[in-house]
Chains A and B, each alone.
Chain A
Amino acid sequence: MVRGRYRVVHYLNQFFAQIGGEEKAGIPPQVKKGAVGPGIPLQQALGDEGEIVATVVCGDNYFGENIEAAAEAVVDLVAPHRPDVFVAGPAFNAGRYGIACGAACTAVMKRLGVPVVTAMYEENPGVELYRKEVFMIPAPRSVQGMRETIPKLAGFVRKLGLGQPIGLPQVDGYLPRGVRVHAFVERTGAQRAVDMLLAKLKGEAFQTEYPMPTFERIPPSPAIKELSAATIALVTTGGIVPRGNPDRIEAASASKFAAYSIAGTDDLTADAYQTCHGGYDPVYANEDPDRVLPLDAARALEKGGIIGRLHGEYYVTVGNATSVANAQRFGKAIGERLLAAGVDGVILTST
């Protein structure tokens, strides 16, 4: 069977489609015939195997201000051209354009079942929003990287167009989507781990199978000068809550934190407090919640004049498979509230 050329529809913003700059950023989605702008070198790179049959264009502001509606309108314009592949960008580090590319790709993939790919700079906000759904080829920050990006993008479009399987991100050159793929391998996990350890000890290169998340580094805050005049707050990730867990903080993968008054309370007792954390044996914390949130000790130090004052409420969440994104959000919100309340220092306890 002779296979026809695979059909490609390309998405561009008003600028790359050569309609205009910011003054045209409000234009609604529209179609141009064939390849336009960066689509021309892309078409050249695809050669005779594939054909850019149409280019859909939308102004960045129009898209950004009506993301869902704009993405739907793009799909409506794409559908009649019956593409085998939908490609958007490259968007480089243009934020609105990157989001538009990601949203358009997602909508086309979901509604038309067509494979999609885009390209943008790794810190483009479109990456965080859409990388889990959409193949994204990393591109440099600026349009000067067009020449190096087009061949990579074309190679990926070709694979999708010919229906070839897509391999691992590091093999096929796209940003990891966080997808786990089951695979049979020759060597057991223990053998592979020892191989990696040996390579590491020898200073050789090795490829981790489970990259750890990277955590933000915050410069240390200056020390408290005068403790006897300072307000200290207690915060815990150990799930100590009033009995019954009134705010229903989840036992794992917490989606929230809570603050509870400790005014007039000198000791956390088993009849009034408990842990709602699902990741450790709760017996000891339920017997005496001070073992996780040391209110009795903090109160004694307040009464002894060692610290100026204990803040009137404590903050709590559950640190058990809680996403880094949620934990950062909680930490930021709690920090802002404590700062606003004039707190000078925090004791954060974790199980």
Chain B
Amino acid sequence: MPVVHVASIVPISVTVGANRIVPAVAIPHPLGNPALPERDERELRLRLVEKGLRALQTDVEQQTVFDG
């Protein structure tokens, strides 16, 4: 059962051993950005979750940060 860690502080995620990592937006709003209009913010969140799902569909041999 693969897990993707959508995490604001990637170095911590790497240190604790997450194998699939997607960098998030910011500590108090990892999957949002209150500076954006609501529609754009929802879109941003959708893209991040989709990126997480792509990570779950990708075979990895070692810790991988999906920052592309």
Interface residue? A297 (CB, 8 A) = yes
A346/B45 in contact, CB under 8 A: no
What is the bound-complex CA distance between A67 and B32, given in angstroms? 53
A215/B16 in contact, CB under 8 A: yes
Give A62 Cβ to nearest chain B Cβ, in Å: 40
Beta-carbon nearest neighbor of B25 in chain A: A291
Give the A-B pair count, Cβ closer than 8 A.
Answer: 137
Within 173-218 of A, Cβ neighbours of B (below 8 Å) are at 212, 215-218
Give A231 Cβ to nearest chain B Cβ, in Å: 10
Interface centre among A216, A296, A351 (most CB of B within 10 A): A351
- A262-287: contact bitstring with B at CB < 8 Å (1 yes, 0 no)? 00000000000000000011111101
Give B40 Cβ to nearest chain A Cβ, in Å: 13
A296/B29 in contact, CB under 8 A: no
A285/B28 in contact, CB under 8 A: yes
User: Contact residue range for chain A?
Assistant: 35 or more
Interface centre among B28, B45, B50, B59 (most CB of A within 10 A): B28
Q: Chain B residues near A38 (CB, 8 Å)?
A: none
A238/B30 in contact, CB under 8 A: yes
A220/B61 in contact, CB under 8 A: yes
Q: Which of A43-51, A96-104, A160-168, A222-230 contacts B (4 or more CB under 8 A)?
A: A222-230
Q: Chain A residues near B53 (CB, 8 Å)?
A: 227, 232, 301, 306-307, 345, 347
- A227-244: contact bitstring with B at CB < 8 Å (1 yes, 0 no)? 100101001001000000
A297/B2 in contact, CB under 8 A: no
Interface residue? A26 (CB, 8 A) = no
Given A224-B2, A349-B6, A280 and B57 contact (CB-CB distance below 8 Å): no
Interface residue? B49 (CB, 8 A) = yes
Could you list 18 examples of A-B contacts with CB < 8 Å? A220-B20, A221-B2, A223-B56, A223-B59, A227-B57, A230-B56, A284-B34, A291-B31, A294-B45, A297-B42, A297-B49, A301-B46, A301-B50, A343-B1, A344-B1, A345-B4, A347-B56, A350-B9
Given A238-B30, A292-B30, A347-B4, A220 and B19 contact (CB-CB distance below 8 Å): yes
* Interface residues of A, Cβ cutoff 8 Å to B: 212, 215-225, 227, 230, 232, 235, 238, 280-285, 287-288, 290-294, 296-298, 300-301, 306-307, 335, 338-339, 343-351
A281/B61 in contact, CB under 8 A: no
Beta-carbon nearest neighbor of A225 in chain B: B57
* Interface residues of B, Cβ cutoff 8 Å to A: 1-9, 12-13, 15-20, 24, 27-32, 34, 42, 45-46, 48-50, 52-53, 56-64
A351/B1 in contact, CB under 8 A: no
What is the bound-complex CA distance between A160 and B32, given in angstroms? 59
What is the bound-complex CA distance between A335 and B1, given in angstroms? 8
B3/A221 in contact, CB under 8 A: yes
What is the bound-complex CA distance between A294 and B4, given in angstroms? 13
B3/A301 in contact, CB under 8 A: no
A351/B28 in contact, CB under 8 A: yes
Give B25 Cβ to nearest chain A Cβ, in Å: 8
What is the bound-complex CA distance between A307 and B28, given in angstroms? 27
A290/B45 in contact, CB under 8 A: yes
What is the bound-complex CA distance between A215 and B15, given in angstroms? 7
What is the bound-complex CA distance between A220 and B21, given in angstroms? 12
Q: Chain B residues near A347 (CB, 8 Å)?
A: 3-4, 6, 49, 52-53, 56
Our pick among B3, B32, B48, B59 for the contact of A288 (Cβ within 8 Å) is B32
Ranked 8 nearest A-B pairs via Cβ: A291-B32, A220-B19, A291-B29, A346-B3, A284-B29, A221-B2, A345-B56, A297-B49
B49/A227 in contact, CB under 8 A: no
Interface centre among A224, A280, A281, A350 (most CB of B within 10 A): A350
